[in-house]
Amino acid sequence: MKKEQSIGMKIWTNHYFRFVLFGLMLSMLVPAVSGGILKTSFLGIVGGTIIFTIAALGLNILLGYSGLISLGTAGFMGLGAYISAYVTGDMGLPWEVGILAAVLIPTAIGILVGLASLRMSGLYLGIVTLCISEIFRKTFDELDVITGGFSGKSANYPTLLGMIDLNQKQTYILLVVVLVLVMMLTYNIVHGQMGRAMHVMRGSQVAAQAMGVNILKYRLIAFALSTGYASLAGALYVHFIKFVYPSTWTLMISLTILAIIVIGGLRSIYGTFLGALVVYAMPDLVLKRIPVLGDINGLPYVFSGVLIILIILFYPKGVVNVFSDLKRLFAKLTASKSSAAKDEVPNDVG
């Protein structure tokens, strides 16, 4: 059917190409900030959005594709942040080692949670993951030899390969590169055998088993990926914000990430970024600038709460579907116009 594509069309529909293009668009922020078109604070906001997108992509694999809930994303993000800060700071090891340790250790713990998850689902799984997250947070408070306790822990911008010291703008570019890689990885995973196995595990456990899908194995994969993404996001966070407090990693962060994928669109990679933009960046960029209303404390939470209700009630596919719906609407409008034009032609049949 689609064999007659031109080379240009082939490149345009290539997903890698689109992700790279997306990354290039995000990188445009750096010259915009350097040139004085946008404020420097934009860098921090969009960088934060990227970090939240990475964590939310992991939750999207877990919740969107596999149908398993986790309210423990914040705990794993924090764990990643602290491990990377400790390994690069106190132990003096390279940034690459830090990030590797910060991803692998939480992922291993995530697999253990996955093992426990086989016996429960839904609300109960939510509660258990929430408890695990709170245990982590309490540990960040108490284990001050490693975490610095209440006063927090600082870290530096990454030093690549032990020699290239990055500044904030370059770190931002690094975030974009990691995001693009994570998006590609996610795309490959969810569009292959693994993604289908996760789909069928969510849609019908009996069908999954009958088709030879090992439920335990795929639950573990889903948990490993989700905690791996979350801790990667945490490790990037600590080297971008340069500071980490225990009080950051509360339930609020986990719920924000949940809000991101619900609002942006379950099972959508670009939707996850869009959701992060709406939930994380919108309050800082737009809401706080509204007079009077913007001064209300906690307005962002009200905003995302109301948005979640509206989206679930009226637009369950998420904000990302606005584009395809608009496209369809446009096609419909042009089609009805042309058919209306046809009707004006005298009709000799009827």
* 302 neighbors 63 (Cβ within 8 angstroms): no
Kindly give the pairing relationship between strand 153-154 and strand 243-244: antiparallel
User: Are the C-beta atoms of 59 and 115 separated by less than 8 Å?
Assistant: no
Which CB, 137 or 199, lies closer to other proteins? 199
Instruction: Mark residue 166 as left, alpha or beta (left: phi above 0; alpha: psi -120 to 50; beta: remaining).
Output: beta
Which lies closer to other proteins via its Cβ, residue 116 or residue 210?
A: 210
Least separation in angstroms between residue 200's CB and other proteins is 5
> Please, which residues have CB within 8 angstroms of residue 207's CB and are 6 or more apart in sequence?
200
Q: Over 110-164, what HEC string results? A: HHHHHHHHCCCCHHHHHHHHHHHHHHHHHHHHHCHHHHCHHHCEECCCCEECCCE
Residue 16: how many other CB atoms lie within 10 Å: 13
Q: How far is the CB of 129 from other proteins (least distance, A)?
A: 23
CB of 93 to other proteins, least distance (A): 25
Could you tell me the smallest distance in angstroms from the CB atom of residue 56 to other proteins?
19
Q: How far is the CB of 194 from other proteins (least distance, A)?
A: 6
Does an H or E element contain 47, and which?
Answer: helix 41-59
Which residue lies nearer to other proteins by CB, 40 or 209?
A: 209
Given the complex with other proteins, which of 195 and 283 has the nearer CB atom? 195
- The least distance separating other proteins from the CB of residue 225, rounded to whole angstroms, comes to 9
Nearer to other proteins, 193 or 339 (CB): 193
Distance of closest approach, residue 187 Cβ to other proteins, in angstroms: 9
Whether residue 121 contacts residue 68, with contact meaning beta carbons closer than 8 Å, is answered with yes
Chain mean position to CA 205: 26
Of residues 64 and 234, the one with the C-beta less far from other proteins: 64
* Cβ-based nearer residue to other proteins, 225 or 277: 225
Strand-pairing partners, residue 160, are: 164
The radius of gyration of the chain's CA atoms, rounded to the nearest angstrom, is 23
CA–CA separation, 73 vs 80, rounded Å? 11
The two three-digit tokens of residue 241, written as one number: 């914000």
Least distance CB 311 / other proteins (angstroms): 17
Angle between helical axes of 269-276 and 251-264 (0-180°, round to 10): 120
Q: Which residues bind other proteins (CB under 8 A)?
A: 185, 188-189, 192-194, 196-197, 199-200, 202-204, 206-215, 221, 267
Query: For residue 332, which amino acid is it?
Result: K
Residue 163 or 206 with smaller CB distance to other proteins: 206
- Distance of alpha carbon 235 from alpha carbon 96, whole angstroms: 11
Nearer to other proteins, 231 or 254 (CB): 231
The nearest distance, CB 224 to other proteins, in angstroms, is 10
